Homo-oligomer: A and B are copies of this chain.
């Protein structure tokens, strides 16, 4: 994101006050096209993860640009997207708490979902929900190839679950979901090949083989057999993506406009954006965000509504009342703090976009 002009900063503060979470829609469009092209070039379908923006408006922009469907992390997110008419949805996690509330069956009645599992309990839950909905449910098996997040850790576990799915008339085996570490593509290939062979002996084929993550775009096309990629952050990018080498500052579409509200001494400043705006997610970086106007300043600490900045390395120091733009370390959690994003193009405020699926915890 380029530094905003004074005119734009004044419009933002007069219309919305600060802090204010802003997206540059020109950059958003370029980022959407870029992700689509990265997938198209290697013949892998693009299924963006909407956890980053939580907005049906932005999800539809992604679909219009060529995305096959979307990925959600929460049933509540899928509900919001389905309400907006989006029907090709993977929910990329074990849904247990959501299923037991009856909401999984309700949504399955309306939209045929693709859900994920790494254990027998969630499979059982899916079967019950599918029965209640009177519609068989597509299930992907989540596989872990070293990240130690969710996912079965061996091909044999995956095959055991595939057998359960095959034996259950209310479940359809839809494929495999991976979230490999950047350097584990060979291990992932090995895992996938072994499981594919095993599936063949069960007369099953993985219709979908999904990989994930914005940094993993560097590996796209490497995994033979992959059919889809799901990435979230790339629509906005953030300081972590700059650090990862995926994006430049100009490719970051989201920033928080924040006022300097206090200056304690020569080297200290206080912003009106703290952990309730930018979040305490450091993402392994130093400091809590990049101040566009003062990249050499550091946001070294947060209170809930204050960001404490160290200005000792700044030649020119911002005065109380100045408006600064901060690119957060981790944009997915920063977007999740607000109910709306202010959309700009160039110097103009042009749209207010609700973060419609925010707060959908289940």
Contact = CB atoms under 8 A, between A and B. Distances in A.
B97 A258 contact: yes
Interface in A235-250: none
A109 interface: no
Given A149-B303, A320-B122, A321-B121, A97 B362 contact: no
Given A101-B14, A121-B320, A121-B321, A361 B333 contact: no
A15 B101 contact: yes
Per CB-CB distance, the 8 closest pairs between chain A and chain B, nearest first, are A18-B97, A17-B101, A17-B362, A97-B259, A94-B261, A121-B320, A280-B280, A339-B359
B144 A264 contact: yes
Nearest to A277: B361
A51 interface: yes
Contact of A332 (B265, B304, B321): B304
30 contacts: A13-B101, A14-B100, A15-B101, A17-B75, A17-B97, A17-B98, A18-B97, A18-B98, A21-B361, A51-B305, A73-B305, A93-B272, A94-B261, A95-B261, A96-B261, A120-B320, A121-B319, A122-B261, A144-B264, A148-B264, A148-B268, A148-B308, A149-B308, A150-B261, A150-B262, A150-B306, A275-B281, A275-B333, A280-B333, A304-B336
Contacts of A100: 13-14, 17-18
A276 interface: yes
Contacts of A125: 321
A264 B151 contact: yes
Contacts of A118: 262, 264
A279 interface: yes
Contacts of A18: 96-98, 100, 362
Contact of A261 (B15, B97, B305, B333): B97
B281 A96 contact: no
A132 interface: no
A275 B328 CA distance: 15
A180 interface: no
Interface string A296-338: 0000000111101000000000011101000000001100111
Contacts of A93: 261, 272, 305-306
A117 B101 CA distance: 48
Please tell me the size bucket of the interface on A.
Answer: 35 or more
Contacts of A275: 279, 281, 333
Nearest to A276: B336
A285 to B, nearest CB: 13
A166 interface: no
Given A14-B100, A148-B268, A149-B270, 16 more contacts: A13-B101, A15-B101, A16-B362, A18-B100, A74-B305, A93-B305, A94-B261, A94-B262, A95-B261, A148-B264, A150-B264, A151-B262, A276-B361, A280-B333, A304-B332, A338-B359
A119 interface: yes
A74 B258 CA distance: 14
A93 B262 CA distance: 10
A346 interface: no
A150 B277 contact: no
B263 A119 contact: yes
A231 to B, nearest CB: 14
Interface string A118-145: 1111100100000000000000000010
